[in-house]
A and B are shown apart, each in its own frame.
Chain A
């Protein structure tokens, strides 16, 4: 497996506070990697940094072997490095489908002329991508509503679908399960594992330990901007540092066990 995303010593500073502190992290293509950590640990900042939304003060990030530092956010997105937002950030006055279409159409120099002369776009692969993304997120029946008219959980899914519509190589999901109930969260997990079959690598942030432990192949744990542990779910589950920093010992045990059950369920569901 080749390395898709790699950061070395990545550091982000907000007025003296190191929100990301020398982060070394690797995502192999075709894998499902998780990042967990308590609130304020710097997880969102990490996504912001590699997608170009906050400047980094030190370190480097490469994507598919290409150095990202000189690229603007939209250029990184066009490379296939696509994110969702913890705070949703949907286009509130576009329909759900249009939200996805914004991300799905590639930019061409002749787009302006094409639009002005209204060159009819027949049902093309772009529209198919959108339909597929709606399907995966399970919101196909709501494609023509405004996002404001959806309940919170489904709005989250619109954000995920919009990222998928761009046909990313790597999708960075910032707490997609927050605000979902357990059932929704489980079904989201199943769908997300399906993405691997479509050649989409997934990087999942969540502080729902259960979800992350159940769907990820490899997990990083962040606290105070630093990576404090990494490993497979079973290693993380038993890592004493993680347990003390993040879980509290007992709670960790319980959550880890329920995660195991959940994982069994999802894998069964997949097959």
Chain B
């Protein structure tokens, strides 16, 4: 009975997934892009709606309202003398009126959604329309990160409770004893379901019966078709972006009484599952898929209340795992082991030159870090180790995304998994520090052993995840791994029976002692996390990681990785075991991610699973892509630039009030620009190209810039 009730209770969430899924289909058919930012559009619109209404009925009470915030931030913060000058920067907030009527608030919010859709088209996806796949995925991930960061800056990013369109709240007037099942159904559930059905069917009809819909379908097949019907293909794509965004915005407004806007961002995961059920092209399929996923998830969650349900499978995990399962099944059974003849290629990939003298680079790097560590104190020492930690993690992306071409978004979760496993394995049931809230039970393994085991655990999980990836490629892999991020957080990290009492709240990290040396960052005397031995420890980790990556690239496997990245069919024909090589790549990448997880655990005294939320991982991807996804140097640049890294901290020293949100927003913009301009080769390769030109000019031997960037052998280029 509980499970049957769950099916009905899931109609509400199902409605959201369904309409978001329909929006994804619309955007995909219009422009061939899978929009990871789709949930973020819903979130931004929901924030806009709530901000306009200035509702005080809910838990969150704001001081003022009635304004809209344009989807950007002021790039020139007010600081120093500029503040005194009252220079009017880019306008962000526009005051409309106090307590606007519902219809006006709704209209303005939907206009905001439309505006965002328009901007996405003009600024990102139109310039990227002929770009290789990786660049498109990165562009859309960049938009997601950007909107999340800007929502943070403009609205504070906190959850808000709003009574919603129909003045519902999630508890208000439930349908009591629903259908005699002795359970209360949230009052808005059926309204939401009906609204979703109407919106979905109307969208379907729009594409089925109007001239515009016909033109879109024609353009889908070839661009001339649309032109014949009197539409320019780009106008058509733009219109589809606007429609897609308005659909997202509408469901954001309708659902805000049930969930806070920030959670909408990750609703893109079940929505993607819904769209995949419709093969990314069928509106009705996505509609059905969305409802199906909502109902299955809710049934699963209800089933967890049974006595026989194992305790180690938490209900949140079941909820988030449902879409993952649907996706994997759909993709796995539709996928082929090798792409079939005539499949469109992946497009031009960023070059991946190897370092001829990695040991020289390594020596210089170690020298600089040791020097810095001696100069720095307190905050800066901590910034230095954050940089090292970021580099460590980014190296895992260099291998997996840069070399092997597998766009996996799940690696940061593997770092989290290693971190959590380490905490659990080294815990022995006593409090580690006097200030800890909790003592974690565990086998109490000594440190190097626990760390090693945690890294191996990350490798095993990473390789397991790669099994579906053998058949799922390109953007679909990005989709599945994003879903896996959410599932791992709920299923493994926040799982107290499995991971210990602190898993879902605050996890106290161990006080590491490797062979008699204290290597944790926490200085017992000052209680600051700037202990120099940790810096050295982190440096050794990063050095090992960097060498592994540099050597891999010079070796047989690195070449095979690049071959697979370029053409899986040809690689198989050349005798490369594509499946096994991919698994090795995932394994190595997970090893590096696991090492980053260990560094995290040794750096901070307590940690929450928030640290491993998807946006942190996406931020890393953004910055390593900006630095250069295909080289060790790129990871180093990325680590310097990323939030908490040396360059960005240096920037925030000079600009007051720069938060992580700013940095991520800037990073997201840089990411999109990088995708458009350098095809992801990033800052590092750009700099080596420039310096080569310079030395060439000085020696008088070379060479037009064209030659430098174009025809030099990709592999004789030297990076270190």
Contacts and interface: CB of A to CB of B under 8 A. Distances in A.
Interface in B560-574: 560, 562-563, 565-567, 569-574
Most chain B CB atoms below 10 A, which of A85, A95, A118, A149: A118
B559 A102 contact: yes
Interface string B314-342: 00000000000000000000000110110
Interface residues of B, number: 41
Nearest to B551: A118
A77 B575 CA distance: 5
A112 B574 contact: no
A111 B715 CA distance: 20
A19 to B, nearest CB: 11
B582 interface: no
A74 B552 contact: no
A94 interface: yes
B576 A94 contact: no
Contact of B341 (A48, A103, A115): A48
A111 B554 CA distance: 12
A93 to B, nearest CB: 5
A257 to B, nearest CB: 36
A146 B711 contact: yes
B548 interface: yes
Interface in B348-395: 348-349, 351-352
Given A73-B338, A90-B570, A95-B715, A102 B552 contact: no
Contact of B570 (A44, A48, A91): A91
A97 to B, nearest CB: 8
Interface string A37-61: 0000000100010010110000000
Interface in A140-158: 144-146, 149
Interface in A53-88: 53-54, 72-75, 77-78, 82-83, 85, 87
A82 B573 contact: yes
Contact of B574 (A53, A102, A149): A102
A89 B565 CA distance: 12
Nearest to B549: A116
A117 B551 contact: yes
Interface in B519-575: 548, 551-552, 554-560, 562-563, 565-567, 569-575
A95 B563 CA distance: 11
Contacts of B555: 111, 114-116, 118
Contacts of B173: none
B576 A74 contact: yes
Contact of B716 (A93, A99, A144): A144
B272 interface: no
B574 A116 contact: no
Contact of A92 (B552, B560, B566): B566
A116 B711 CA distance: 29
Contacts of A2: none
A24 to B, nearest CB: 24
A98 B556 CA distance: 10
Contact of A89 (B349, B569, B714): B569
Contacts of B577: 72, 74-75, 107
Contact of A93 (B556, B566, B710): B566
Contacts of B572: 53, 72-74, 77
A101 interface: yes
Contact of A74 (B556, B575, B714, B716): B575
B552 A111 contact: no
B559 A74 contact: no
A246 interface: no
Nearest to A108: B556
A162 interface: yes
A98 B569 CA distance: 17
Interface residues of A, number: 44
Given A82-B575, A118-B551, A166-B574, A89 B567 contact: yes
A224 interface: no
Contact of A115 (B352, B556, B562, B575): B556
Contacts of A146: 711, 713-714
A105 interface: yes
B599 to A, nearest CB: 20
A182 B716 CA distance: 35
B292 to A, nearest CB: 29
A85 B584 contact: no
B578 interface: yes
A77 B573 contact: yes
A157 to B, nearest CB: 15
Contacts of A82: 573-575
Nearest to B581: A107
Given A74-B576, A89-B567, A149 B715 contact: no
Contacts of A74: 572-573, 575-578
Contacts of B567: 89-92
Contacts of A83: 573
B570 A89 contact: yes
Contacts of A101: 556, 559
Contacts of B716: 95, 144
Contacts of A117: 551
A101 B576 CA distance: 11
Contacts of B556: 101, 105, 111, 114-115
Contacts of B575: 74, 77-78, 82, 103, 106-107, 166
Nearest to B337: A72
Interface string B676-720: 000000000000000000000000000000000011011110000
Interface string A117-132: 1100000000000000
A82 B348 CA distance: 26
A53 B566 contact: no
B570 A85 contact: yes
Most chain B CB atoms below 10 A, which of A102, A105, A146: A102
A103 B557 contact: no
A94 B570 contact: no
Contact of B713 (A87, A105, A112, A144): A144
B263 to A, nearest CB: 40
B558 A115 contact: yes
B375 to A, nearest CB: 33
A102 B573 contact: no
Contacts of B352: 93
A161 to B, nearest CB: 12
Most chain B CB atoms below 10 A, which of A53, A74, A87: A74
A112 B573 contact: no
B574 A93 contact: no
A69 to B, nearest CB: 16
Contacts of B551: 115-118
Contact of A94 (B340, B569, B711, B715): B715
Contacts of A90: 567, 570
Given A53-B338, A53-B569, A89-B569, A149 B711 contact: yes
Nearest to B347: A92
Contacts of A72: 337, 572, 577
A101 B716 CA distance: 15
B576 A102 contact: yes
Contacts of A105: 556, 559
Most chain A CB atoms below 10 A, which of B555, B575, B577, B715: B575
Contacts of A87: 341
Nearest to B405: A93
B563 A102 contact: yes
A112 B552 CA distance: 8
Most chain B CB atoms below 10 A, which of A75, A92, A163: A92
Given A74-B577, A93-B349, A112-B588, 16 more contacts: A53-B338, A53-B569, A73-B573, A82-B573, A83-B573, A85-B569, A89-B567, A93-B351, A93-B565, A93-B566, A95-B716, A102-B560, A111-B555, A118-B551, A144-B716, A146-B714
16 contacts: A51-B573, A53-B572, A72-B572, A91-B567, A93-B562, A94-B559, A94-B562, A98-B559, A98-B562, A101-B556, A105-B556, A105-B559, A115-B551, A115-B555, A115-B558, A145-B713
What 3 pairs across the A-B complex have the smallest Cβ distances? A115-B555, A103-B574, A77-B575
